[in-house]
Amino acid sequence: IKVMSRARPADKMRLVKLLQQSGQVVSVTGDGTNDAPALNYADVGLSMGTGTAVAKEASDIILLDDSFASVTTAVRWGRSIYLNIQKFIQFQLTINVVALITALTGPFIGIEFPLTVTQMLWVNLIMDTFAALALASEPSYKEVMKKKPRGMNDFIISKGMMRDIFGVGAIFLVILLGLLVWMNKDGNVSVYELSVFFTIFVMMQFWNMFNARTLGSNNSAFYKLNENRSFLLIAALILGLQIVIIQFGGGFFRTEPISLEHWVMIVAGTSAVLWIGEIKRFIARLKAGKK
């Protein structure tokens, strides 16, 4: 059916149900009382701002300006918000996997508490609060409209996300556990060494937060970064507070001040997390350009 005219309310509702039974996702637009049943049964009901109260009540979205262009804007923002949630979930689960296994494996290596309770609380603050604000505040980009709609039953954690979560998490674990074994080679790990370990742990997640911005695209982590000042502010806040905790945390955070030389080495060394991701995305862009 291409055009159906002189349709009764029951005809419209039946058409919606038949399309849904065939596996289609159905959207209905209307402005009159006779459109209410179809608007109510549709997956997405769109009513006009100048429509009847019954139509508005039955719909999911009301177009206040009566412009169909607003539907495109709504879809774009819906996709962008969903993608931002995925970015945060990927970042959160990666840091969760690494923190959990590190804490559980430490005693077997001979280090009872690789990370203290207060240090874990700070990691959780980065993960649950700051990262959520930084990644959720990502602006909407037109590129999201070029992708195919996701399936109704698709899990929010995609296969690509799973590969990144466990792949990146495994690499981080190998580095961190290897570092703990190296520190414990003489059977004694100093507070200074554990402060270095804690800083490396946080800085690896810090740079991975930039990689999380690129989920769903092959763009650089710096793509339109200036448009998200919240992200830049939060990134600066995390780095600044980490310096304060290490240099002045003392017994409360079980830290000792780290020398400037070691700070430079840690920041530069852990930044490889970002640069490896940038190289990977650059190669992907080249391949996409050749196609």
49 DSSP assignment: T
Read off the pTM: 0.84
pLDDT digits (tens, 9 = 90+) for 11-56: 999 999 999 999 889 999 998 889 999 999 999 999 988 889 999 9
Mean per-residue pLDDT over the chain, rounded: 89
Predicted local confidence at residue 43, as pLDDT: 93
Q: Which residues make Cβ contacts (< 8 Å) with residue 9, sequence separation at least 6?
A: 34, 35, 36, 37, 38
Q: Among 143, 152, 162, 161, which residue's Cα sits nearest to residue 80?
A: 143
Q: Which residues make Cβ contacts (< 8 Å) with residue 50, sequence separation at least 6?
A: 31, 66
pLDDT digits (tens, 9 = 90+) for 128-159: 788 878 888 888 888 888 888 887 788 888 88
CA 14 to chain centroid, in Å, comes to 39
Q: Is the pLDDT of residue 174 over 90?
A: yes
- Dihedral of the alpha carbons of 152, 154, 157, 159, in degrees to the nearest 10: -150
Least confident of 76-90, 123-137, 176-190: 123-137
Could you tell me if 235 and 134 are in contact, meaning their C-beta atoms sit under 8 angstroms apart? Answer: yes
Mean predicted confidence (pLDDT) in 115-138: 83
Q: Is the dihedral of CA 167, 113, 243, 239 positive or negative?
A: positive
- Separation CA 223–CA 213 (nearest Å): 9
Q: Is the pLDDT of residue 89 over 70?
A: yes
Predicted local confidence at residue 290, as pLDDT: 63
Least confident of 60-64, 95-99, 117-121, 125-129: 125-129
Q: Which residues make Cβ contacts (< 8 Å) with residue 81, sequence separation at least 6?
A: none
Predicted local confidence at residue 291, as pLDDT: 58
Residue 226's CB: how many other CB atoms inside 10 A?
A: 9
Predicted local confidence at residue 251, as pLDDT: 86
